[in-house]
Structure 1
């Protein structure tokens, strides 16, 4: 049976999850589906959102936000799921369309010219501290005790290079997408930490609850 999203279901999400911005609502659902190995419906969700947007600049922004959300979730869900989700998203964009040409103009944000190890480490540590608040040092030392390399990769690569790149997806919205990606993973400790992290970065409790509910529907319900 083909895995798709019924248009009526998407319309219901608009009403039920109004605490989330229009783009963010779609990003959370896509993050949850990507993490749950449900890449096919991502095309339906993206196509539906693109059809709602009138201007090319708005469409370009949404696609780039979605690509960033999927990329940022790599550290949580793994490269295979990231690739499948990204392929589903890009399948709705005609290769010769105006949208494709606009997307092609977007400069690379994570190339070698933009990479300074110490700067990236500082940026990652700052993001980590914002997410974990007063528990940041304790969590970092706990991870470091498991394997120092794991802690360094988490700060520099996950938080520094991926999660703290906020030009298209803010820290708050990144955390809401992380909530979406963690829901299908049965990782209650990490999920709880990032629910708090979303609030630390500016999300309301209503936004967090909406992200949790939407992710549960998106990753478990047969649509």
Structure 2
């Protein structure tokens, strides 16, 4: 499998821009996922985890090399070393793990479910056992007969809408989030999607914005907005990227941060061999 990140590039990403100090790894994870390079996600994850320790910034060069060496080791030894390193994960490391999962989940409707599956699988394989949820197996055959649940509801971060009222609440949250992003052009964009195919707008609202993009218990609305920008940059979809660049400002991100996210996503896309037909739109 192609390897793109080395120690020097990890350091380059972590120091790309001061505004991205606490989000560079999420922006990078989204971009690599969309570029179909999920093997790079564990490097970002473990480097960010190591940098979260006290005084880690003084040893960022050493930690970058340690990250590469750790993930280069053979599988049984690698898993043992990972578990030894995180016997007592900090609150921040638990939070960081949840954020990585959420980022990769949210790229699903933007870049395709297979890429989200591959990214989350790669992350799971290199996540410390103590940070992997322990779940009862799901039997899809029994669930299809109504004899058991098809969901691990007690471990899901989202609530499963069981009533019409709960579903309507989720949809309203999605609409509020949509309006915050698109602001003055919200009505025009909604009706453009709806007139293209009513089911397109239904899918966008009910299955993407409501339960996914508007969900802010793990990523903030601003973090989600920046991750979406990073996901759109490699795809050569300037009309959508333009809307989300402006939308990030509408939802509270400052211009310098938005431009830095765009720049970081372009750099990573270039490392992945992405080319664009007519450049990448900017603010």
Q: Give the alignment's TM-score, normalised by structure 2.
A: 0.72
Secondary structure at 2:132 match in 1 = helix
Work out whether residues 230 and 265 of structure 2, in 8 Å CA contact, stay in contact via their aligned partners in 1: yes
Between stretches 110-119 and 123-132, larger displacement belongs to: 110-119
Task: Work out whether 1:134 is the aligned partner of 2:184.
Answer: yes
**2:10 corresponds to which residue?**
10
Task: Work out whether 1:28 is the aligned partner of 2:41.
Answer: no
State which structure, 1 or 2, has the greater radius of gyration over its C-alpha atoms. Answer: 2
Gap regions ≥5 residues in structure 2: 54-88, 136-151, 274-283
CA distance in 2, matches of 1:197, 1:172: 10
Task: Work out whether 1:119 is the aligned partner of 2:160.
Answer: no
Work out whether residues 4 and 44 of structure 1, in 8 Å CA contact, stay in contact via their aligned partners in 2: no
Gap regions ≥5 residues in structure 1: none
Work out whether residues 233 and 241 of structure 2, in 8 Å CA contact, stay in contact via their aligned partners in 1: yes
After superposition, residues 8-87 of structure 1 pair within 5 angstroms as 8-22=8-22, 24-54=23-53, 56-87=90-121
Q: CA deviation at 1:110?
A: 2.7
Secondary structure at 2:211 match in 1 = helix
Work out whether residues 32 and 41 of structure 2, in 8 Å CA contact, stay in contact via their aligned partners in 1: yes
Match of 1:109 among 154, 157, 165: 157
What is the number of equivalent residue pairs in this alignment?
A: 219
Match of 1:182 among 229, 232, 257: 232
Between stretches 12-21 and 146-155, larger displacement belongs to: 12-21
Secondary structure at 1:16 match in 2 = coil
CA distance in 2, matches of 1:17, 1:114: 44
Task: Tell me which protein shows more helix as a share of its residues.
Answer: 1
Q: CA deviation at 1:183?
A: 0.6
Q: CA deviation at 1:114?
A: 6.6
Q: Give the alignment's TM-score, normalised by structure 1.
A: 0.91
Q: CA deviation at 1:62?
A: 0.5
Q: CA deviation at 1:91?
A: 2.0
**1:100 corresponds to which residue?**
132
CA distance in 1, matches of 2:177, 2:253: 15
